[in-house]
Amino acid sequence: MKTFVTKNFLLIILILAVGFAFAIKATVFQKPPVAASPPTSIVLPAAFTAYWQAGKAEVNTYRLEQAQAGALHAGEARLIFAVEDFRTDTQIRAMTEASRDKAVPVLKTNLFRTFAAGLEDYSLATSVFTPINSPIFTNTLKVSTTAQDWSGHSYLQLNYRTNEYQVTGKSYIEPEADETYTVPKALLEDELWSRIRIDPGKLPIGEIQLIPGTITARLRHRKLEPLAARVKLEPYEGILYPGKLLKSYVIEYPTDDRSLRIIFEGQFPHTIVGWAETYPSKDNLLTSRAVLKKTVQSDYWNHNTPADTSLRAALLR
């Protein structure tokens, strides 16, 4: 037996190797594994595509009461939605065919608020870029906010990077003059407006972690961080806001003495008809409120000549 093994050692090793390969299903006769298909975009409902990808933005105008310096001030708000291609590497709008290969479609939300507090003019703006159907990029990629008044102006930006948001801030106020910090990944209050328009059925309900809105953080001089929040979705039964089959998405921050209520139409395209935000301002518990006046769809970027002021007048009526 020893002599047989010695003479046929290589043959025995080969037989054992082939047998082992068959046992683990890895022989040369086995078909190579099929490579996993790259993730594809989530298919959007036809109504969504027809409404949001027709080459126009949705422009909403609101009557505004804004809390500031311990009082409510009359003003105006604009809420503008548009779908555009957004680069995931540099986190800017894709403007060329080459850069669109690095982009995903986002619902861009621009919220503008203007009001006067006594002599002072205030202008507040927030831009939010939320992917609408990417299985890879599911988080809002970027938020930028600016605030201007007669004392100066400030800027705050969040960029999503590897499971956290990088925050950059600039301001004329000494404690906020130059800020750079990170916050853990969490849902952004600023993206809730986009999430309502994309699919309100997927809004989170219950106890969650939420990063408060950037404009409110600037007005209150608060640093951004995830906070415990209680959220619920319920029918709206009041008469203040216009629309049909209205729903109310309510956010309450137990540790911050603040709440936000966003009112929207329950049926597509889920128009946001107003909101109410309550928090202390100079020891007065005040509620900022916006009520929808008018909604239009427009390619406004093609209407920027003096002759187009008639279109603006129609929007402001």
Structure tokens that stand for 129 in this block: 């870029």
3-class state of residue 110 by DSSP: strand
Q: What is the pLDDT of residues 48-78, one digit of tens each?
A: 999 999 999 999 999 999 999 999 999 999 9
Q: Which residue has the higher pLDDT, 19 or 123?
A: 123
Domain map (residue ranges) of the chain: 46-316
* Two tokens, residue 88: 């995931």
Bridge partners, residue 231, by sequence: 206, 251
Task: Pick the closest to residue 83 from 108, 101, 60, 58 (CA basis).
Answer: 108
CB 190, CB 165: distance < 8 Å: no
The pTM score is 0.85
> Which residue's entry shows tokens 């600016």?
146
Report the 10 Å Cβ neighbour count for 12.
Answer: 12
Q: Could you report the per-residue pLDDT of 176-233, keeping only the tens digit for each?
A: 889 999 999 999 999 999 999 999 999 999 999 999 999 999 999 999 999 999 999 9
pLDDT for residue 122? 96
pLDDT band at residue 44 using 50, 70 and 90 as cut-offs = confident
- Pairing type for strands 187-188 and 206-211 reads parallel
Token pair, residue 34, equals: 């099929």
**In the prediction, which pLDDT does 3 show?**
52
> Peptide bond before 212: cis, by omega within 30 degrees of 0?
no
Q: Which of 191, 145, 189, 196 is nearest to 168 (CA)?
A: 145
Mean pLDDT across the stretch 138-164?
A: 95
